[in-house]
């Protein structure tokens, strides 16, 4: 009888434990309420949110003075990615997200795409939403593009997105939704391919979020959703409604405004999650949240304790905040210290959707799905920060191999705005804030790293950096920044 009683207790205990596990992580295709939805039986919804110029010290999980309760909870309940890397500026990082290639392999390594230059990511590269369409996904984008617009073929709805609401270029006024002055001033706001002219005076992130919420609400339950939301915040110009600035009574000037923009971003993310919950999509959604580069100190961004910021190859410009969240993430509530690079999101998102990159094409990204879902073994031990030789006196190359980082050439501007050129070697494990240059004390390691950098350089392609074209001016396009003045290649 005693043995029977013990066996019965064990059976009950195992049943309770199994039920608890199912409640903690609902099974594939099952909501937490236990109901099965057709869209949740196979592929996850993927929500890819990108903040613009968000600094390392500009989020609540790194800085308790920053008010980001929604992001903090999502990061805390998910996996914080502590070694997530990017190019130090917008266009190159975004081109990596969309193609899985390093910028120096596709021509986006030099600066950013400009309004008046005929630039675009070459059409031979298949963009992420195009591949997700092959997997049956609905693909929508709301926010900042910055990957070319001079030819319609470069624009979002011609590169795999079912819909687009946002702006084509680098930055715009948050209220007028235009950029430039005089004959160079033009509206940069589109609903699919139509210019939007009725939003003057409205704060952009508000109606961008409205658009995301609307797309989520209209989404059918029998199709997986890919929603790409590259937010305007916190890129310059620094603008935000006063109620957000008032959340930081101890701050002044631009820093007060920027932190208000961070909190406005946090509120927007909260609204998007709520919309996913109301649409019964959230329990089968993989959320990826990321910046595109480090914060911009010149515009009140803060990357403490990392060195430098946007436009520099220091860690503050290239190592950014990121996390993943979702029921398919099996190991949660911890900080993952394995290397991940912007190029990796392309194959990782495709893997989550059940797809793979095009056959016969060796992209630079590696599939990190096992790493982010299950804290699996590291799949990356080196990467390229950037290689750019467009301007001879400002040539730059930077790589990481294991714990070591090499910067050779132009690293960025110093605190006085002067170009800073040199050679630096760091052991990032021992010196994550880059205070001890080992270039003179470790000549053998320096030689090894330089040799590896030279290997990478052999596959560099020329930068896409043509002269400005007057035909781009809004005066010729009914005062809007518009496609139609170049021919895509």
Q: What percent of the chain has pLDDT over 90?
A: 89
The answer to whether 163 and 215 have CB atoms below 8 angstroms apart is: yes
Q: Same domain, yes or no, for 325 and 402?
A: no
Q: Is the pLDDT assigned to residue 69 strictly greater than 80? A: yes
Averaged pLDDT for residues 167-185 = 96
Q: What is the pLDDT of residue 42?
A: 80
Residue numbers annotated as active site: 90, 146
Lowest mean pLDDT among 7-11, 19-23, 51-55, 93-97: 19-23
The answer to whether 29 and 328 have CB atoms below 8 angstroms apart is: no
Question: pLDDT tens, 128-155?
Answer: 999 999 999 999 999 999 999 999 999 9
Q: What is the pLDDT of residue 359?
A: 86
| Residue 12 belongs to some domain of the structure | no
| Residue 133 belongs to some domain of the structure | yes
Q: Return the CATH number at 339.
A: 3.40.720.10
Question: pLDDT tens, 406-432?
Answer: 999 999 999 889 999 999 999 999 999
What one-character-per-residue DSSP string does 210-272 give?
HHHHHHHHH--TTS-EEEEEE--TTSSS----HHHHTT-TT--HHHHHHHHHHHHHHHHHHHH
Q: Same domain, yes or no, for 319 and 427?
A: no
- CA dihedral 5→6→7→11, nearest 10 degrees, is 100
Among 329, 363, 381, the domain-final residue is 381
Tally of structural domains, the chain:
2
Q: Is the pLDDT assigned to residue 173 strictly greater than 60? A: yes
| Residue 15 belongs to some domain of the structure | no
Among 381, 412, 443, the domain-final residue is 381
Q: What is the pLDDT of residue 29?
A: 34
Averaged pLDDT for residues 354-369 = 95
Q: Same domain, yes or no, for 415 and 314?
A: no
Q: Is the pLDDT assigned to residue 3 strictly greater than 80? A: no
Q: What is the pLDDT of residue 415?
A: 86
Q: Same domain, yes or no, for 286 and 197?
A: yes
Closest CA to 485 of 125, 154, 127, 121: 154
| Residue 3 belongs to some domain of the structure | no
Question: pLDDT tens, 422-464?
Answer: 999 999 999 999 999 999 999 999 999 999 999 999 999 999 9
Q: Residue 98: which domain range? A: 42-381
| Residue 217 belongs to some domain of the structure | yes
Q: Return the CATH number at 401.
A: 3.30.1120.10
Q: Same domain, yes or no, for 356 and 407?
A: no
């Amino acid at each position: 009888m005693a043995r029977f009683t013990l066996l019965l207790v064990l059976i009950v205990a195992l049943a309770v434990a199994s039920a608890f596990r199912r409640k903690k992580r609902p099974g594939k295709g099952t909501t937490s309420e236990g109901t099965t939805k057709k869209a949740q039986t196979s592929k996850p919804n993927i929500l890819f949110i990108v903040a613009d110029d968000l600094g390392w010290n500009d989020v609540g999980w790194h800085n308790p003075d920053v008010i980001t309760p929604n992001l903090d909870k999502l990061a805390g309940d998910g996996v914080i990615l502590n070694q997530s890397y990017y190019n130090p500026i917008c266009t190159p990082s975004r081109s990596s997200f969309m193609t899985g290639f390093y910028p120096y392999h596709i021509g986006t390594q030099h600066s950013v795409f400009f309004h008046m230059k005929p630039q675009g990511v070459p059409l031979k590269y298949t963009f992420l939403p195009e591949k997700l369409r092959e997997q049956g996904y609905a693909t929508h984008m709301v926010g900042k593009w910055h990957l070319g617009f001079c030819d319609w073929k470069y624009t979002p709805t011609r590169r795999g997105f079912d819909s687009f609401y946002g702006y084509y270029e680098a930055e715009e006024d948050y209220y007028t939704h235009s950029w430039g002055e005089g004959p160079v001033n033009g509206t940069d706001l589109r609903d699919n391919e139509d210019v939007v002219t009725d939003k003057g005076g409205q704060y952009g992130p508000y109606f961008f979020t409205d658009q995301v919420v609307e797309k989520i609400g209209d989404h059918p339950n029998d199709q997986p959703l890919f929603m790409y939301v590259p937010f305007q915040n916190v890129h310059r110009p620094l603008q935000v409604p006063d109620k957000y600035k008032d959340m930081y009574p101890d701050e002044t000037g631009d820093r007060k405004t920027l932190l208000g923009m961070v909190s406005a971003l946090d509120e927007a993310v909260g609204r998007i999650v709520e919309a996913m919950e109301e649409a019964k999509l959230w329990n089968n959604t993989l959320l990826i949240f990321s910046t595109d580069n480090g914060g911009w100190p010149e515009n009140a961004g803060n990357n403490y304790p990392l060195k430098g910021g946007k436009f520099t190859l220091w860690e503050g410009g290239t190592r950014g905040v990121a996390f993943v969240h979702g029921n398919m993430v099996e190991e949660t509530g911890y900080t993952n210290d394995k290397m991940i690079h912007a190029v990796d999101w392309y194959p990782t998102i495709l893997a989550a959707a059940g797809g793979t990159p095009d056959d016969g094409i060796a992209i630079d990204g590696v599939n990190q799905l096992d790493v982010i879902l299950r804290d699996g073994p590291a799949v990356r031990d080196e990467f390229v920060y950037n290689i750019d030789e467009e301007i001879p006196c400002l040539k730059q190359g930077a790589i990481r191999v294991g714990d070591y980082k090499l910067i050779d050439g132009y690293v960025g501007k110093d605190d006085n705005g002067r170009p800073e050129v040199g050679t630096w070697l760091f052991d990032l494990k021992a010196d994550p804030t880059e205070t001890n240059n080992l270039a003179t004390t470790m000549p053998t390691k320096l030689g090894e790293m330089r040799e590896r950098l030279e290997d990478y350089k052999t596959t560099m392609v020329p930068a896409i950096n043509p002269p400005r074209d007057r035909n781009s001016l809004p005066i010729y396009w009914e005062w809007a920044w518009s496609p139609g003045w170049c021919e895509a290649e």
